[in-house]
Amino acid sequence: EVLLRMHSVGICGSDVHYWQHGRIGDFVVKDPMVLGHEASGTVVKVGPGVAHLKPGDRVAIEPGVPREMDEFCKTGRYNLSPTIFFCATPPDDGNLCRYYKHSASYCYKLPDNVTFEEGALIEPLSVGIHACKRAGVTLGSKVFVSGSGPIGLVNVLVAKMMGAAAVVITDLSASRLQKAKEVGADFTIQVKNETPQEVASKVESLLGCMPEITVECTGVQDCIQAGIYATRSGGTLVLVGLGPEMVTVPIVNAAVREVDIRGIFRYCNTWPVAIALLASKRINVKPLVTHRFPLEKALEAFETTKRGEGVKVMLKCDPTDHNP
């Protein structure tokens, strides 16, 4: 294990949801719990047997740590391990604090040209990497991203990086769609009260064809329906956003057109990839951060996120550091 002095911690929609509702699906908050799972910091102390890190190293933290070497870990899909520890998922504490202890194997050294803030953004970026890999994005792919929150935006970034020829993105908010344009979306659709079929045909007309890949980041029933209708026969729909447990969808439409529907659960094996992309400047996550607060103003930061202002709200846990 290593002891870290925390630096930058991003606020995620799930943090806000636990704070407001006390549960997400089967994960119920029963006792006080520290939030935060998008984080970076500096190594203060290393435990015995830790060779790859030393005090003073700047690291990005992968929040999911398997507790046992089960079949999922053996096949490299450790995110599916049922006993995994995960920051800020009850009953496991997160890392929105001054000091935090974590498994050394899940702390990754940041190169000098990658900032603490970029290090914290590796967590949401990882969702995009994992989703686009599961979707099979490749050279020339036409991609439909549904939802332009932080996760929709990282999917735009990663899809373009992986060779997507055209990406169209939908959202209710004009300002969020503007941000999507900034990070590389080719087309945007501001959804008002169109039916799922109408949204699907708008996607098709903008792309000039139906997309082979749809990445659904909202979890909203109508959006999942639109995702099925929009995806080209033989294509893939990846469900990233989580909404209600039961959703009514045109499953027969998907079945007879051989549209593969894939789920994702967090990510695995993405931190080294993300660090390489950030260090080589092949991907720019900096525009995602719109607000910064010191740890003392955490409540204000959470309120800002809850109101849906900006994109990514970042908390600064190290009072001695005055760099953004």
Q: DSSP string spanning 3-42?
A: EEEEEEEE--HHHHHHHHHSEETTEE--S------EEEEE
Q: Which domain holds residue 173?
A: 130-263
Structure confidence by residue, pLDDT tens digits, 23-47: 998 899 999 999 999 999 999 999 9
The CATH number linked to 47 is 3.90.180.10
Of 71, 156, 126, nearest in space to 267 by CA: 126
Do the domain assignments include residue 224?
yes
Answer whether residue 274 is part of any domain: no
3-state secondary structure 90-111: CCECCCCCCEEEECHHHEEECC
| Token pair belonging to 147 | 């939802």
Which among 268, 224, 251 has a CA at the least distance from the CA of 129?
268
Residue 163: pLDDT over 70: yes
- pTM for the model: 0.96
> Given a cut of 80, is residue 324 above it in pLDDT?
no
Are both 146 and 97 inside the same structural domain?
A: no
Residue 323 domain-assigned (yes or no): no
**Percent over 90 (pLDDT), the chain:** 96
Considering the domain architecture, whether residues 105 and 134 belong to the same structural domain is answered as no
Whether residue 303 is contained in a domain is answered as: yes
What digits encode the pLDDT tens for the residues 266-275? 999 999 999 9
Residue 73 confidence (pLDDT): 98
Q: Is the pLDDT of residue 322 over 70?
A: no
pLDDT number for residue 323: 58
| Peptide bond between residue 55 and the one before it cis (omega within 30 degrees of 0) | no
Same domain, 170 and 236: yes
The pLDDT assigned to 320 comes to: 78
Residues 137 and 251 in one domain: yes
Cβ within 8 Å of residue 153, ≥6 positions away? 179, 180, 183, 288, 311
**pLDDT, the chain, mean:** 96
Collapsed DSSP state (helix, strand, coil) of residue 184: coil
Q: Element (H or E) spanning 287, and its range?
A: none
User: Which of 247-251, 263-267, 316-320 is least confident?
Assistant: 316-320
Q: Confirm if 107 and 60 have CB atoms less than 8 A apart.
A: yes
Provide the β-strand partners of residue 170: 146, 189
Whose tokens are 């792919």? That residue is 141
Between these two residues, 279 and 324, which has the higher pLDDT value?
279
Q: Clarify whether residues 136 and 66 are in a common domain.
A: no
Q: Domain holding 201: CATH number?
A: 3.40.50.720
pLDDT range class, residue 319, cuts 50, 70, 90: confident
Q: Could you report the per-residue pLDDT of 71-125, keeping only the tens digit for each?
A: 999 999 999 999 999 999 999 999 999 999 999 999 999 999 999 999 999 999 9
**How many domains are contained in the chain?**
2
Q: Which residues pair with 46 in a beta bridge?
A: 2
- pLDDT for 25: 87
Co-location of 7 and 45 in the same domain: yes
Question: 84 and 134: one domain?
Answer: no
